[in-house]
Chain A
């Protein structure tokens, strides 16, 4: 009996514990963020890693997302003669939803996992402890630059993803499906508001925060050697992806 109760209670206890730890980590990262020295060089290195190196994968994803979106909505809209709305649909979906989410998921897979693996390895090889002994706070040295980089670079990547995605949609819609280019653009201009773009960017900043926080958290609390590192990496990607999708719904419901 007790066993079954424990079985039911353990995941909840774990969830609450983990959430608490993440919040605490976030708070300490916030406090260390405003304490000098701000390690600009480290931040730049992380921004380069999170942003520039994710560029190609994000752009390819976005381009094909826009293209397939144009293709699919075209078949839908053709049923009642609304082909001209394909552009607006592609642009709205990308700016509001797919741009931020796909970008965040890609960055999670590429950079979030790397953060967990990197920090996890440092942890199990006691490099984190070594930082303590050098009186360098690991939160400030390792975590703050990564979070900052992700929060700044994911929106930047999202802008590019939005644009590339619309270009992809335009290519498919206008050149392959033969929608009038003027109408295609006019409908985009007509229906897309600046709010759509900015709200998408706000969402993507949150996603950046989530993926970096979970990635660094999983790495920072890794135990159990090489196997532990692998487990931490996997969990970081899974949890971050799920959290991004859940928070996406919440943020969308709040903003739009």
Chain B
């Protein structure tokens, strides 16, 4: 060992191990520096149960590719095959999923088509698949076959089985036997008679011969008569012939109808154009054809139907509510009334128009600026109009259980948020309006509870950060009708005639 330097020892080790690595790599076989050489093909299977990625694709047991991808597309399994570049398939090739080995590993087997068919382009699709016969489906088919056989044998046994069937069978056999017997008897019994008949015939023919010889002249005249008759017949036939000729030549109306080439031509043309029309329809030419053949027609139709549906749905969801609510304010010991019209074009959106009678009245502030002797003084005059009504106009948009409102709140700008609970039976609302630089905004918190269909209860705290001592608890109730309710109400009211 002394003669080997460290470098030499290391070198020997490295060389040996690299040779071994090379050997193993060659044996394992997939010695590819360029990954994914080849082209892809796509196959659609009804089921790829058990098929794994990267399993071989084989033709006649020789690996020609790998399964590169399995995906679901339109409820069918789309399998992408990575094929070896030197393998070319024709368009009538078939794909089948087969099972290999005792452990039931699935792989894709390709059955090449005829050489005459065109080649599949890379990235193309193998259209033909053979459904896999797994044990389950096989048993299914076998089961139905057994069912058929069973019903067949049942009807057979219905006909033949039982005493009746047996009896009729036996009768048939008996009858046949009897018939043969009778036939036999007849022949045997009448053996002599038959010989006599034959003898009579011989005598009869001999006599006939004699008669013939004796009455030759008479017979000749008969023949003459017959000839004359046949001549007459000939003229008759000639006339008939003439008629048919005339018909053939198209003389007379029947002849014209039958013989006129134009008729046939017309008929042919009519048929041809009919054929053309149907062909065009089939090919999707012309508007009817397009209508019938174009997928877009169906799509459009579908769209149209969807649109109509939407519209109808919108009509369904389009509702109007009439609402009155009264609130008793503990602070001022007075009642406040709201009359509102809620127009709800969609479930999640409504517009609110409201008239409010506020006992505290409508507050209008007028500012005066006076300049007197160079001194500017501001004066605010707050007028409260007790009898004047306030108006609200709001829009609301709902997201799941939260709705946001905005617009006019009691004749001032504001915003609000509603939270719906228990199938909208309980609603919490917070409103903020009457924003003013000098005073706090008007905040209102309320909870509405709807125990019955049209009636609801309400309670809350109004203007709770008021600086003017307007804060007040309130309770109240309201009544609400949708337009349909109103409709039914109106219809059900008896009208005096």
Contacts and interface: CB of A to CB of B under 8 A. Distances in A.
Interface stretch (B27-35, B75-83, B173-181): B27-35
Contacts of B245: none
Contacts of B18: 159
A156 B25 CA distance: 15
B410 to A, nearest CB: 62
Contacts of B27: 185, 188-189
A66 interface: no
Contacts, number: 60
Interface in A177-206: 185, 188-189, 192-194, 196-197
B25 A160 contact: no
B16 to A, nearest CB: 7
Interface string B5-16: 111011001101
B17 interface: yes
A106 B102 CA distance: 39
A194 B102 contact: no
A45 B6 contact: yes
A188 B5 CA distance: 38
Contacts of A225: none
B25 to A, nearest CB: 6
Given A159-B17, A193-B30, A44 B24 contact: no
B6 A44 contact: yes
Contacts of A192: 28
Interface string A32-53: 0000000000001101100110
B54 to A, nearest CB: 9
A4 B52 CA distance: 54
Contacts of A157: 17
A51 B102 CA distance: 43
A42 B224 CA distance: 146
B74 interface: no
Contacts of A196: 28
A82 interface: yes
A82 B101 CA distance: 10
Contacts of A44: 5-7, 10
A11 interface: no
B153 to A, nearest CB: 41
- The CB with the most chain B CB atoms within 10 A, among A82, A156, A189, is that of A156
A163 interface: yes
A47 B5 CA distance: 12
Given A82-B103, A194-B28, A55 B20 contact: no
Given A52-B13, A82-B102, A156-B13, A197 B24 contact: yes
A202 to B, nearest CB: 13
A45 B8 CA distance: 11
B375 to A, nearest CB: 74
A185 B29 CA distance: 12
A136 B102 CA distance: 65
Interface in B1-57: 5-7, 9-10, 13-14, 16-18, 20-21, 23-25, 27-32
A81 B102 contact: yes
B10 A163 contact: no
B6 A193 contact: no
Interface in A121-156: 153, 156
Interface in A10-29: none
Contact of A48 (B9, B23, B102): B9
A162 B18 CA distance: 12
Secondary structure type dominating chain B contacts: helix
Contacts of A193: 28, 30
A189 B29 contact: yes
Contacts of A189: 27-29
B29 to A, nearest CB: 6
A194 B25 CA distance: 6
A197 B17 CA distance: 13
Contacts of A156: 13-14, 17
- The CB with the most chain A CB atoms within 10 A, among B10, B14, B102, is that of B10
B30 A194 contact: yes
Contacts of B28: 188-189, 192-194, 196-197
A81 B17 CA distance: 35
Contacts of A160: 13, 16-17, 20
Nearest to B18: A159
A47 B31 contact: no
A96 B20 CA distance: 16
Contacts of A162: 20, 24
Nearest to B54: A193
A192 B23 CA distance: 13
A52 B96 CA distance: 53
A193 B31 CA distance: 9
A194 B27 CA distance: 9
Contact of B21 (A47, A153, A197): A197
Given A81-B102, A194-B30, A163 B9 contact: no
Given A160-B20, A189-B27, A189-B28, A51 B13 contact: yes
A159 B23 CA distance: 11
Contacts of B25: 194, 197
Interface string B343-358: 0000000000000000
B13 to A, nearest CB: 5
A111 B30 CA distance: 35
A47 B24 CA distance: 24
23 contacts: A44-B6, A44-B7, A44-B10, A48-B7, A48-B10, A52-B9, A52-B10, A52-B13, A81-B102, A82-B102, A156-B13, A159-B18, A159-B24, A163-B24, A185-B27, A189-B28, A189-B29, A192-B28, A194-B28, A194-B30, A194-B32, A197-B21, A197-B25
Interface of B: 5-7, 9-10, 13-14, 16-18, 20-21, 23-25, 27-32, 102-103
Closest A-B pairs by Cβ, 7 of them: A48-B6, A159-B17, A47-B10, A52-B9, A156-B17, A163-B20, A44-B7
Interface of A: 44-45, 47-48, 51-52, 55, 81-82, 153, 156-157, 159-160, 162-163, 185, 188-189, 192-194, 196-197
Given A153-B10, A196-B28, 14 more contacts: A48-B9, A48-B10, A51-B10, A52-B9, A156-B17, A159-B18, A160-B20, A162-B20, A163-B23, A163-B24, A194-B30, A197-B21, A197-B25, A197-B28
